[in-house]
């Protein structure tokens, strides 16, 4: 008869986790301090990423307010040098471009002069222009009404006007009211609104804006836009800029003038690139510091627990089980520190962003990546101590002081 071959006891996942956590429970103070060291490193990484992302979001909003994604289309000159006109369908055709997110337009009403009353000298026109305006104009160019209201589907068909900031000042109109009227082309128009200064379209400041329909019925406006405003996706500005002229006037794209993408866009992209590089560098340093902390803690743990390792080996624990025990302990320690660091980092980011009146932004990749990277670094850092512990023979470990 042959003797039966003895097989070491197998440990399931719960046993592995329980044994790995035993080392943390028996030394709670050291485990807490080690996890705190890891948490501080991870919190620093998450906070730096979050604060930088919040700052970048604030910068992006400020740059967006400068019109980095706003393009304008206007008629240029023909080959003979005459003033060209945009087709009546130009606005609709531009709206069909995929990356375009918003389109609006104004049309110049020729021959219409503006006066405060009929007693003003006809030569004193104040340099104001009359523009037919779409209802979507404020949303597209970022205009805001200082007082009163903007044109809508009803008021756009009747003699109602909205004044630009400079136009209201020159006409001596302080506020919009049903009792305030001006003369536009000899017709009385009620002032229903006054705009704030429009940074993205300063030509609107010295304009009197009336509805598209009333411009056609009262002044014979031909319905052709003199300026088309198009909002695009930031990543597609150059592509849209390249096709705008041909889209607005396929028959004569050379007679279309398209504004160039703002130089602010280049500055915005350069800032994003610089901040991304900074975030990656700081994150790598924080992870390195956390990994060193885990490795140091686990090496000390192995040295202090040699007697425990020898006892477990003498009771039948295999090298693999000892190795797995210390590896799991390292992973648990790093995970605790990583989760605590993420919570602390998010809290610091939210507090600082609130103090600075910034939007609070913590990228999802920063929180998830911090925990995953901490576990990876913790596993790598705990691998050498785990291998070292598994190589101790029972007699060597038990004989250690």
Decide which of 206, 233, 260 is a domain's last residue: 260
Task: Establish if 182 belongs to a structural domain.
Answer: yes
Q: Cα–Cα distance between 390 and 310 in angstroms, integer?
A: 10
* Same structural domain, 151 and 224: yes
Position 269 scores a pLDDT of 63
Boundary (domain end) residue, out of 236, 260, 284: 260
Position 135 in a domain: yes
Tell whether 342 and 277 lie within a shared domain. Answer: yes
Query: Pairing relation of β-strands 207-211 and 129-133?
Result: parallel
The per-residue pLDDT for 192 is 96
**Is the domain of 299 the same as that of 335?**
yes
**pLDDT for position 271:** 65
| pTM higher than 0.85 | no
Same domain, 231 and 318: no
- What pLDDT shows up at residue 316? 67
Give the model's pLDDT for residue 325.
75
Q: How far is CA 160 from CA 132, 163, 201, 215, 301, in A?
A: 11, 10, 21, 10, 82
What total of structural domains would you count in the chain? Answer: 2
Same domain as 387, residue 279: yes
Same domain flag for 20 and 107: no
- Do 326 and 219 reside in the same domain of the chain? no
Out of 260, 277, 301, a domain closes at 260
CA distance 189 to 158: 8
pLDDT of residue 7: 56
Is 318 in the same domain as 246?
Answer: no
Instruction: Assess whether 180 and 327 both reside in one domain.
Output: no
Question: 50 with 75, same domain?
Answer: no
Identify the domain containing residue 296 by its residue range: 13-63+267-398
Q: Are strands 187-195 and 181-184 parallel, antiparallel or unpaired?
A: antiparallel
Phi, psi values for residue 227, rounded to 5°: -145, 130
- Same domain flag for 85 and 227: yes
Positions in the chain short of pLDDT 70: 1-13, 15-16, 19-20, 23-24, 62-68, 261-276, 279-280, 282-283, 286-287, 289-291, 293-295, 297-299, 301-316, 385-386, 389-390, 392-401
């Amino acid at each position: 008869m042959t003797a039966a071959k003895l097989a070491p006891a197998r440990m399931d996942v719960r046993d592995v986790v329980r044994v790995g956590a035993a080392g943390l429970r028996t030394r709670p103070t050291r485990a807490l301090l080690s996890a705190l060291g890891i948490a501080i490193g991870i919190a620093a990484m998450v906070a730096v990423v979050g604060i930088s992302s919040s700052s970048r979001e604030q910068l992006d909003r400020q740059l967006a307010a400068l019109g980095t994604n706003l393009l304008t289309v206007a008629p240029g000159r023909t080959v003979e040098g005459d003033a060209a006109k945009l087709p009546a369908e130009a606005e609709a055709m531009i709206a069909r471009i995929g990356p375009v997110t918003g389109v609006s337009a104004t049309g110049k009403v020729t021959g219409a002069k503006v006066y405060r009353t009929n007693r003003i000298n006809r030569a004193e026109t104040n340099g104001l222009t009359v523009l037919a305006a779409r209802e979507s104009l404020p949303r597209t160019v970022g205009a805001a009404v200082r007082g009163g209201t903007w044109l809508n589907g009803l008021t756009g068909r009747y003699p109602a006007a909205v004044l630009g900031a400079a136009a209201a000042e020159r006409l001596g109109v302080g506020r919009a009211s049903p009792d305030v009227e001006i003369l536009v082309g000899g017709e009385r128009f009620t002032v229903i609104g006054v705009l704030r200064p429009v940074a993205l379209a300063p030509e609107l400041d010295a304009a009197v804006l009336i509805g598209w329909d009333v411009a056609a019925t009262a002044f014979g406006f031909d319905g052709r836009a003199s300026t088309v405003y198009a909002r695009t996706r930031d990543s597609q500005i150059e592509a849209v800029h390249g096709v705008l002229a041909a889209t607005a006037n396929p028959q004569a794209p050379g007679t279309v003038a398209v504004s160039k993408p703002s130089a602010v866009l280049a500055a915005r992209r350069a800032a994003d690139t610089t901040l991304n590089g900074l975030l990656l560098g700081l994150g790598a340093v924080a992870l390195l510091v956390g990994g060193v902390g885990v490795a140091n803690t686990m090496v000390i743990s192995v040295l202090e627990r040699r007697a425990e390792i020898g006892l477990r080996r003498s009771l039948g624990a295999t090298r693999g089980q000892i190795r797995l025990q210390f590896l799991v302990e390292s992973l648990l320690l790093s995970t605790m520190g990583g989760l605590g660091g993420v919570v602390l980092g998010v809290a610091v980011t939210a507090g600082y962003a609130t103090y600075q009146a910034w939007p609070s932004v913590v990228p999802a990749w920063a929180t998830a990546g911090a925990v995953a990277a901490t576990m990876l670094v913790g596993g790598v850092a705990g691998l050498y101590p785990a291998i070292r512990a598994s190589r101790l023979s029972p007699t060597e470990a038990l004989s250690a002081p």
